Structure 1
Amino acid sequence: MTENIDWNKRISPVVHAIPPSGIRRFFDIAAEMEDVISLGVGEPDFITPWAIRESCVYGLEQGYTSYTANRGLLELREEICALQKRNFNIDYEPKTDVLVTVGVSEALDIAMRTILAPGDEILIPEPCYVSYKACAALAGGVPVPVPAKIENNFSITPEDLEAHVTDKTKALLIGYPNNPTGAVLSREQLIAISRFAVKHDLIVISDEIYGDLTYGGERHICFAGLPEMKDRTILLNGFSKAYAMTGWRIGYALSNPDIIAAMTKIHQYTMLCAPITAQIAAVEALRNGEKYMKKMVSEYDKRRRLIYDGLTNAGLKCFEPKGAFYIFPDITSTGLTSEEFAEKLLMKEHVALVPGNAFGECGEGYVRCSYATSVAKISEAIARIEHFVQHCR
């Protein structure tokens, strides 16, 4: 008989200590409501371009349904390395320096598990993507939040990092363009961070999944391309955001051969390989998908300007995002907490967004809005938010 067994006591304390994703709670509620406009989940509203989908269809017709090498199709790894050379003049070796993963989420997870031993500390600037701290904890590491301040445009500085480094600090995780703030870092700012990493002999995990989504004349700077950073950096990227391929679950990691070999060990025992159909589609995306990607980025830029102007006119102070597809308005003028604002807005105006504290304690007083949705929906959401804000005052 098992009726009286307390199964919760048999679950790992580490898992117990990790909170559920703060992004999903409000959307579970919203899913049961009518007439909800979602500015929440970070997923493009575009369908994967047909040429990319067609390559997958063709692959299926040709019977490409087998495993691939653990590290991924060599053809895809060659294209990934060619992209890095073309865009950033960084030389990677396809056979030893690349691992194709099941989304960037897997790449992040196994990068953490590869470098962190129990008790190792990793510096994580906040606000940040919800998985960062959880993956560090699951790897046995100790995530150390480093608040990024609005006064610095949500950028992180060496001085901020110095205040949190200890003799247990082993790594630094940065994610720019940033989710949830839309902040980007200049080359000068990144060089300053790279010098900090060299000074303290840190490994840097650089999550650049939004690297292709920059606006207003900003150009993405690849961290691994900075002086002395290529071998010290684990570069993460993928296809979900720029190519509207979220459901394909295809990402990759680039680093020195030793790091990639170690990551591959974990990958081969947990995932074996990324799906061959998704890898075939990714090859097509890199070869012929740039024109589709640029068209989507241009549309995001229009939406970015619309939502920034709209929320500002609604009376909310906003940092103007320069990358990704999120905006992070300050809602403290309403007198509500982040969770109160998100919950009441959902219930009264049927607009779903994410409370800022889901991305770290320093996100309190903000909410995250995604503009990866249509202009019509953004316009209606702004009108509803403005109505809500007026009634809060």
Structure 2
Amino acid sequence: MRSHLLLLLSCALVLFHGEGQPVEVSELLRALDKAVGFFQREFRQINLDGVVGFGILNGKCSVRIDGFLSRALNAEWGGLGSVNPNVSFPTQWFYHLFCIRNCQVRQICRSFPNLSPGLAPSTAELGEALRRWPPADHSMDANSAGHVSKVRKMMQRLDGTLQQASYTLQESDPSYFREFEPILDSGFWSLPKMWNTTSPRLVYPAFQEVACFSEQLSDKCIALLLGTWKDNGTPCIVTNSCRNLMTRFGCADYSLSHQLLYFMIGQMKGCSNILQGERRGSRINMTGREYERIFCSNMMKRNVAFENSGFPVETHDIFMENIMLCGMAGYSDFYKSSWLRQILAWQDTEEGCFGRHEGLAKSRMQERKVLEIMELHKRVKRREKTLHDGCSSHMTAVAVSALGGYLDYYQTEQDVTKRPLA
């Protein structure tokens, strides 16, 4: 029993081992803490995409906190029902008892709200439960408890700032805010954890040189799914035009990532009709998950190409967006330790944001090259903002979401005792 808990807690120490220098979770938490500090200072200037990125991070932190105590309880008891299968206690009681028994984890427990009214056990009930609790032969690892406490405090900072940022967006750009308000909710970004890997057999023979569709058209198709295309609009509307664009093969970069995003939002919104009406014979029986795997396999191909080219500055944003989206979609091979190390290296150590050093360090000629490439792909982020300190709102958003994905995957899903980091 003790060994199981220690193996669980080892996930909170050095998780990102394998290729190159190991990355400790404390280093990842420091990077996220700096980014959250930047968000707290600059939320009035950050656009909607940026706020969504920090909302996704907040959702991932919430899942991690909720899962931590559950897994620790299971490790100590071998399952909540193993104490006495004939007696049922509310789950919150078990959290309470666990906090009492493990003094080193009390710093986490103090940050949790009190038990809900009506669920708090009486003194007699607590005494009986503690009497039946198995003898403790181990204690909570102090470093692990400290890490979880830091995540909880980071969540508390994010909660307040996200509320203020949403209010600011509603005031400054009400129509755009109304169109995408549902995705500002941290709870919106919840997908089943079914881990998969990409396949080289699914990559396109070639990518198109220009974008498959404009950002405006992508926004319109997503709004039809969300039901925000008008006040009290019907959700899950899929036009033939949107279906054909979002299932078109050969798209690259932002068009490709938005195809995946379209399917993911459809899944989170509960839209089961995206592929209804498909008339192409070879695709009639294809599922949404099959399309997602094709998209992520090609996004993997693009990311590997960016890596092999030495990560040109103009690829940083889409590189991290690919990791963010495909990681959320369940493709674990995007969580490479070398890519994590690269993302951490791109963070501005002074401001905590991303994209700042690139604008300062590159010459005007290189900046013109970036603009030419963006024009070639016809991807103009209409509401992307380079902030007064040179930071990129969109790049910071995709970076923190990607880093939150690493924290999510390696702390809770990967069995580090059996599967080495690829």
TM-score tier by shorter-chain length is: under 0.3
Q: Answer with 1 or 2: which has the greater Rg.
A: 2
Q: Which one has a larger percent strand, Structure 1 or Structure 2?
A: 1
TM-score, normalised with respect to structure 1: 0.23
Q: Which one has a larger percent helix, Structure 1 or Structure 2?
A: 2
